[in-house]
Amino acid sequence: MSDKSVSYWSDTRQGLRAVELRAAGFEPSEAVNTNAVVTIANAYTNAHRCNNRVRRIADLLVDAVASKGGQGLLVGAPAVSDALTQGTVNAGYSLASRDLMADCMETGHYAHHGNGMIVVSGCDKTGAAALMPLARTNAFGLVVYPGTSSPGRVDFEPWASKGNNLTIMDYMEGSAAREAGRISDDELTSLQRCVMPGSGTCGAMFTANTMSTIAEAIGMMLPRGASHPADYDAGSDIHDDVKNQALASVEALYRLMEMGIRPRDIMVREAFENAVTTAYAMGGSTNLYLHVLAIAREADVPFTIEDMQRIGERVPLIANLQPHGAYAMVSLHQVGGVPVVMKALLEAGLLYGDVMTVTGKTLAENLAEVPLPENLPEQDVVFPVARPLAAPGNHISVLSGSLAPESCLLKLSGKTLEDGEFRGKAKVFDSEQAAMAAIREGGVIAGDVIVVRHVGPVGAPGMPEMVHLTIQLQGRGLGKDVALITDGRFSGVSHGILVGHICPEGAKGGPIGAVRDGDTIVINPKTRRLDLDITPDELAARMAQLGTPVLSDVAKGSVLGKYRRLVSSAHYGCVL
């Protein structure tokens, strides 16, 4: 190209930029002096309490970037609340939205020529999606969490003794308890009115707070950013701790740009191990397996499901948070947040202290002044590693066996199986709805193993959460006596004897499709096996008779149609 042509195209581009800037309400002469274009990636919606404060935070970030001489540009993405989709025909959109959000954020960042990126997360898939484009683009950046919901209280048992620590889990289990005649209409109404006084994500160690913990523990969020409340009540402004985190995050971004520290300098293998260790110590959701594997792939860090098992099996449970414990996430925030947990783990030699973080300091430097749990004023939210709530190996375990030749996840959440295994008779269902009807009609009794199949990433499609089934079991007093296994997944709210993520899934010809009513199923956490108690020859004969699974009817060009066509197994994180 000639010099004249180069000059023409350069002049034309400059002129077009001026036209575009003026038309969008910017002054071209001021834009010339901008020191950085910062993508403010956010999944805002007014549709639900999980992400309804995100736009307020995004606007605050834009103003804070401007005060530093930069230009913040808003980039949107869809936000899906599991609370609105669980148990419905649209539940598959939740997991599918994770990769869609990451794609939206990447697209907006590059299309608007961003130099850095601050991602405002929120409901659980947003938490994973927040880290994926940062790892993918390696743009200077970090994550801001809009906050968790403040807890509530009531004056009747079994909830009064929890104090100000009630969360959405308590209402859901109360609803099932009312259906079973275990509490009154007035008590359920009181729970409904009191359990969640404001906005924010689900209030304990469910998936949203698991993923905020992952972001902080991996080093991509400022300390204490994972646990703050979203607001004071539904009518208030965002919480002061959220405002302070947002403003501090802009300062941190500029410091990262000055120091040349990018996400892949932070999201190294040791940082992923720190994140998994911290999530296990706090009783995190099984969904962390799907999301951490997906984030690691974006960061080009080799990380497998067996790596996560190896890391997690050595970690005791030390945070007393719902669903396995008594407290809401805000109670953890009040005693110091995730750094208190991490300090205990670091002192016990369970974390790598020399990894870099978005503060521009190492993890050990960030934690230097943080007290150990035993040195705090009297509290029972975080326990010392030497005196844990549960010993290692009693939270999430990766199992395999004749029913899960690739893998599956057992969630015990600190509880134990006293005789070392659960052995029960199968009640088989090809949908969540059919299983729900059986539970409500009294068709599930102590000693049963509920089998829900064809609800995996391909089968559903979208791998919906079986949370309403687990809530029914807990609300009816069957949580310790009935197991549930599925090729779907679980909400962080779920607790009991639960096996999910069975791979291969039924829709891909997995042996879960060969289970029949009355079969004996054996769950053994010690040997890490999930088995159908029939001979190998009988299983082979059944598998030969399976044929092609009948899948739900989904339009080929739809989001779920594309997802079904492209998604990998849960064994690999359901990546596309």
Q: Is the pLDDT of residue 144 over 80?
A: yes
Cβ–Cβ < 8 Å for 449, 485:
yes
Q: Tens digit of pLDDT for each residue in 94-141? A: 999 999 999 999 999 999 999 999 999 998 899 999 999 999 999 999
Q: How many CB atoms lie within 10 A of CB 300?
A: 11
Q: Is the pLDDT of residue 280 over 90?
A: yes
- For residues 329-343, average pLDDT: 97
Q: How many CB atoms lie within 10 A of CB 19?
A: 11
Rounded to whole angstroms, how far apart are CA atoms 98 and 79? 9
491 is known as an active-site residue: yes
- For residues 160-189, average pLDDT: 89
Q: Tens digit of pLDDT for each residue in 17-50? A: 676 667 767 776 666 678 999 999 999 999 989 8
Q: What is the pLDDT of residue 109?
A: 97
User: How is the chain split into domains, by residue range?
Assistant: 34-150+199-375, 160-194, 396-572
Q: What is the pLDDT of residue 415?
A: 65
- For residues 352-361, average pLDDT: 98
- For residues 191-206, average pLDDT: 90
Q: What is the pLDDT of residue 39?
A: 98
Query: CA dist 218 to 272, 367, 547, Å?
Result: 6, 14, 44
**DSSP structural state of residue 203:** S
Structure tokens at 53: 């404060």
Q: What is the pLDDT of residue 549?
A: 81
pLDDT band at 457 (very low <50, low <70, confident <90, very high): very high
Cα 431–433–437 angle (5° rounding)?
125
Query: Between these two residues, 132 and 413, which has the higher pLDDT value?
Result: 132
Which of 330, 282, 288, 334 is closest to 308 using CA atoms?
288
**Residue that the structure tokens 């190896």 belong to:** 310
Of 163-177, 332-346, 366-380, the one with minimum mean pLDDT is 163-177
Rounded to whole angstroms, how far apart are CA atoms 442 and 513? 24
Structure tokens at 125: 């898939």
Q: For the CA atoms of the chain, what is the radius of gyration?
A: 24
Compute the mean pLDDT over every residue in the chain, rounded to the nearest whole number. 92
Q: Tens digit of pLDDT for each residue in 222-277? A: 999 999 999 999 999 999 999 999 999 999 999 999 999 999 999 999 999 999 99
Q: How many CB atoms lie within 10 A of CB 482?
A: 25
**396-572 has which CATH code?**
3.50.30.80
Cα 155–157–160 angle (5° rounding)?
45
Q: Is the pLDDT of residue 4 over 60?
A: no
Rounded to whole angstroms, how far apart are CA atoms 68 and 536? 67
Among residues 199, 491, 494, 569, which one is catalytic?
A: 491
pLDDT band at 51 (very low <50, low <70, confident <90, very high): very high
User: Three-state DSSP class for 452?
Assistant: strand
Q: Tens digit of pLDDT for each residue in 309-333? A: 999 999 999 999 998 899 999 999 9
Non-local (6+) Cβ contacts of 267 within 8 A are 131, 134, 135, 218, 219, 220, 295, 299, 301
- Taking phi over 0 as left and psi of -120 to 50 as alpha, with beta for the rest, 113 belongs to left
pLDDT band at 83 (very low <50, low <70, confident <90, very high): confident
Query: Between these two residues, 496 and 352, which has the higher pLDDT value?
Result: 352
**34-150+199-375 has which CATH code?**
3.40.50.2300
**DSSP structural state of residue 549:** P
pLDDT band at 1 (very low <50, low <70, confident <90, very high): very low
